[in-house]
Amino acid sequence: MNQGLLERVAEVRAFNRLYTRVIGVLGEGHLGSPYSLSEARVLYELAHETRDETVEVTELRKRLDLDAGYASRLLAKLAERGLVTRQRSAEDARRQVIRLTEAGRAEQRVLEERTVTQIATLLEPLDEDEQRRLLNSMRTISRLVDGRGPDGTLVLRPPRPGDLGWVVQRHADIYAREYGWGTSFEALVARIVADYAEEHDPAREAAWIAELDGERVGCVLCVRGSDDTTAKLRLLLVEPTARGHGIGRRLVAECLEFARTHGYTAMELWTHDVLTAARNIYRRAGFELVESKPHHDFGEEEVGEIWHREL
């Protein structure tokens, strides 16, 4: 195991220690109750089951990733306390189903109220921006650790305060990591963004931030091009963790539609031959490569390209 990975492991362990302390996992009773965290999770799952208010024990085990022996002891303890009942399934006598009793529902309501209070206490000292950052980070952790890509609702919205700075920062970070482009590229992006922020014409220019589950995952600008009849697509970006879900295509389509409905008859863009995924999006959107030219603006030799399409 290399040193870099060992350092990341240490960071994850430090986060785990912090998180378990913050939510009180190490205490004898979850949220000051007489129940362990595992018992509280079982009560929660049963309380939120809507299909005839019962759950098969095997299904519950799968949801909570519980060993059969441990699950059996856990449910037996809850049954002894009068919080759940177990019986044979009417559909298959070999299977057991479990449901909450009225006492179990009452205890779950108390736990739910304590949970809401605990989380609200955690969030209240943070301002709106800090809360948003915290929740976005949690969503990112969930997606990456759970091994799934984005599956939420995509929203394309105008920039809010702080978004244009994010556009510069993410371009600089991603292109440095993926292509080795340095501060000259970051300076170019910063100039484009500054020009847009200071001088753009709202009647003929626009920008969009792609947001997935409240997290910024992409952007694009539509600005005036080489003449009054040609629009220019600029700064298309999709976060690496959000790629492969059509976000780039949606951003380009939004840009084209804006240009079409705001008096432009053509659109152009500048990209590079190494940006394979972006070039595929442009080609599928009807753009054609009209010019290629090598340059050294970002350090190593790159081939810049101009693409064009009629609207």
**pTM of the predicted structure, to 2 decimals:** 0.60
* Distance separating alpha carbons of residues 130 and 57, to the nearest angstrom: 40
d(CA 267, CA 55): 57
Query: Could you give the CA distance from residue 183 to residue 299 in angstroms, rounded to a whole number?
Result: 9
Is 164:261 a contact under the CB 8 Å cutoff?
no
Both tokens assigned to 282: 């442009």
Specify whether 237 is located in the same domain as 113. no
Instruction: Name the most confidently modeled range: 14-18, 54-58, 197-201, 298-302.
Output: 197-201
CA-to-CA distance for 208 and 219, rounded, in angstroms?
6
Average pLDDT, the chain: 86
Picking from 249, 254, 247, 203, the residue whose alpha carbon sits closest to that of residue 224 is 203
Is residue 63 included in any domain, yes or no?
yes
- Pairing state of beta strands 230-238 and 266-272? parallel
Pairing of strands 215-224, 266-272: unpaired
φ and ψ at residue 205, rounded to 5 degrees: -135, 150
Residue with the bigger pLDDT between 155 and 88: it is 155
| One domain for residues 84 and 183 | no
Whether residue 257 lies inside any domain: the answer is: yes
Structure tokens at 102: 């009225």
Strand runs labelled E in 160-264: 206-212, 215-224, 230-238
The pLDDT confidence band at residue 50, using thresholds 50, 70 and 90, is: very low
Task: Name residue, tokens 């929740």.
Answer: 135
Do 200 and 293 sit in the same domain of this protein? yes
Q: Please state, in angstroms and rounded to a whole number, the distance separating the CA atoms of residues 278 and 107.
A: 54
pLDDT in tens, 221-280: 999 998 889 999 999 999 988 888 889 999 999 999 999 999 999 999 999 999 999 999
139 within domain boundaries = no
Q: How many Å apart are CA 34 and CA 24, to the nearest integer?
A: 13
Residues 263 and 209 in one domain: yes
Q: Is residue 138 part of a domain?
A: no
Is residue 143 in some structural domain? Answer: no
Q: How many domains does the chain have?
A: 2
User: Both 186 and 257 in a single domain?
Assistant: yes
Residue 119: domain span: 3-125
Q: Which residue has the tokens 């659109």?
A: 267
pLDDT given for residue 24 in this prediction: 66
What CATH number does residue 171 fall under? 3.40.630.30
In a domain, 131, yes or no: no
Say whether both 101 and 214 belong to one domain.
no
Is the confidence at residue 35, as pLDDT, over 90? no
More confident residue, 302 or 15: 302
- Asked, for residue 133, whether it belongs to a domain, the answer is no
Structure tokens at 224: 């005036």
Q: Is 72 among the domain residues?
A: yes
